[in-house]
Amino acid sequence: MSESSKSSNQILGVDIGGTKVAVGLVDQDGKIIAQGRKPMIATSTPEAGLEAVIGAIDSMISSAAGGIQSIGICAPGPLDPKTGVVINPPNLPCWRNFPLAEKLVAKYRVPVKVDNDANAAALAETRWGAARGFHYVFYATIGTGIGTGMVFDGRIYHGHTGSAGEGGHVSIDYRGPVCSCGKRGCIEVLAAGPAIGARTRAKLAGGAQSAILDLANGKVGGVSSELVGKAYAAGDQLAREILQETVDLLTPWLGNIVDLLDPDVLVMGGGVAAMLEPFFDDIKNHLPSWCVNPRASEIPLVMAHYGANAGIAGGAALCSQDPP
Ligand SMILES: [Zn+2]
């Protein structure tokens, strides 16, 4: 293969967030060849937001010797994956019904795809990562929130209006705390990073002894879920208890997902999932008691392949050719 035809197979993956735009060149095997990031301008005019994205893309295109074949973008939802219109994401106030794909096609004259972060990351895991070879993929990224995506027979399941895959806002307690979405007892408000931090602070304020407090320099208010992960790794008992409680919330939720979808793999990504990986066997062992699916215990529960670069890989996966 000549150098020029090799590089023309490169896909530009773009990950737009509230504060930054991450860009990367990705090959047809899902390998990230080069990457960089620029600040996002999210609170100014629509044009300023677009210019920030174009600046990030240009910085990467200049290092792609033979140009790029397509641009895949993951952005915060809600958005319309069919038209590439960004509707009204809370952390991108610059864009309201903004035709992002259309603007970038006009500028770069290559195909442009847009989807939300978790859907795109689910597709990257299916094409190139931990869910390769599986047909009914459920993916969840657990960090400051919980995002989920479903990929069936190699295609993202979008539902009727493009709004499917909001598994983080599936409630497990109708009397539970109110989530940012307005519903009660969503798994996101119960088990994502901020909930872990809040439960830990409450226990420490109640007098619980733990190395977590030392890690926060004695300040209960400075305790975050990251410190719980660190303390657990160092053998702290309270940290273990808090992560176990988190697992006890996630397991019935995953049971609901399994009973609804009958997936052949469950993939977990994000910082909180990495912290919970030592508990994956515990989740698997208890899953059958939360499922009517008789084969729930056979479903692999695995960590995602892409970590912090899930957005770049996800964007690129939207433009990748179908696997043979
Ligand atoms: Zn919610």
DSSP per-residue letters across 178-238 = BPTTS-BSBHHHHHSHHHHHHHHHHHHHTT---HHHHHTTT-GGG--HHHHHHHHHTT-HH
Tell me the CA–centroid distance for residue 309 and ligand 1, in Å.
25
220 lies in some domain: yes
Tell me the whole-structure pTM to 2 decimals: 0.94
126 lies in some domain: no
240 lies in some domain: yes
Q: Are residues 112 and 181 in the same domain?
A: no
Q: Are residues 201 and 259 in the same domain?
A: yes
Q: Are residues 207 and 158 in the same domain?
A: yes
Q: How confident is the model at residue 8 (pLDDT cuts 50, 70, 90)?
A: low
Domain span at 29: 3-116+309-319
Q: Which residues, including other chains, have CB under 8 Å from residue 140's CB and lie 6 or more apart? A: 118, 146, 147, 148, 167, 168, 266, 267, 268, 269, 270, 273
**Amino acid identity at 168:** G
Q: Are residues 163 and 292 in the same domain?
A: yes
* Residue 223: HSE in the Cβ half-sphere, 13 Å Cα cutoff: 26
Tens of pLDDT, residues 245-300: 999 999 999 999 999 999 999 999 999 999 999 999 999 999 999 999 999 999 99
Q: What pLDDT, on the 0 to 100 scale, is given for residue 292?
A: 98
Tens of pLDDT, residues 227-258: 999 999 999 999 999 999 999 999 999 999 99
Q: Are residues 154 and 298 in the same domain?
A: yes
Tell me the CA–centroid distance for residue 161 and ligand 1, in Å.
19
Q: What pLDDT, on the 0 to 100 scale, is given for residue 65?
A: 75
253 lies in some domain: yes
124 lies in some domain: no
122 lies in some domain: no
Task: Determine which of 65-69, 75-79, 248-252 has the lowest per-residue pLDDT on average.
Answer: 65-69
Tell me the CA–centroid distance for residue 299 and ligand 1, in Å.
26
What does the pLDDT average to over 189-215?
96
Q: Are residues 138 and 265 in the same domain?
A: yes
Q: Are residues 313 and 170 in the same domain?
A: no
Total domains in the fold of the chain: 2
Q: Are residues 170 and 293 in the same domain?
A: yes
123 lies in some domain: no
Percent of the chain topping pLDDT 90 = 92
Tell me the CA–centroid distance for residue 286 and ligand 1, in Å.
24
Q: Is the pLDDT of residue 1 over 70?
A: no
**At 170, which CATH number?**
3.30.420.40
Q: Are residues 94 and 157 in the same domain?
A: no
Tell me the CA–centroid distance for residue 185 and ligand 1, in Å.
7
